[in-house]
Amino acid sequence: MKNLGRYGVWTPWQIWPDDPNEIADAAQEIEALGYGTVWIGGSPRDDLQIVEAVLAATSTIVVGTSIVDIWTSDGPRLAASHTRIRRSFPGRFYLGVGSGHAPTAESRGQAYTRPLSRLKEFLTGLLAASPAPSAAPASPASPASPASPASPANELMIAALGPRTLETAASLTAGALPYLMPPAHTASARQIMGDGPLLAPEQKVHLGADPEAARQGGRRALRPYLSLPNYTRQLTRFGLTESDLTGDGSDRFIDSAVVWGPDDRIRTGIDAHLTAGADHVAVQVLLDSGAPRSLPRPEWRRLARILKLPKTT
pLDDT in tens, the chain (313 residues): 669 999 999 999 999 999 999 999 999 999 999 999 999 999 999 999 999 999 999 999 999 999 999 999 999 999 999 999 999 999 999 999 999 987 787 888 888 889 999 999 999 999 887 544 433 333 333 333 333 333 389 999 999 999 999 999 999 999 999 999 999 999 999 999 999 999 999 999 999 999 999 999 999 999 999 999 999 999 999 999 999 999 999 999 999 999 999 999 999 999 999 999 999 999 999 999 999 999 999 999 999 999 999 987 6
Q: Which pLDDT score, from 0 to 100, does residue 102 have? A: 79
Q: Which pLDDT score, from 0 to 100, does residue 143 have? A: 33
What residue ranges do the domains of the chain occupy?
7-208+262-306
Is domain 7-208+262-306 annotated with CATH 3.20.20.30? yes
Tell whether the torsion through CA atoms of 306, 309, 310 and 313 is positive or negative.
Answer: negative
Q: Which pLDDT score, from 0 to 100, does residue 313 have? A: 67
> Rounded distance, CA 82 to CA 125, Å?
12
Q: Which pLDDT score, from 0 to 100, does residue 2 have? A: 65
HSE (side-chain half, CA atoms, 13 Å) at 246: 3
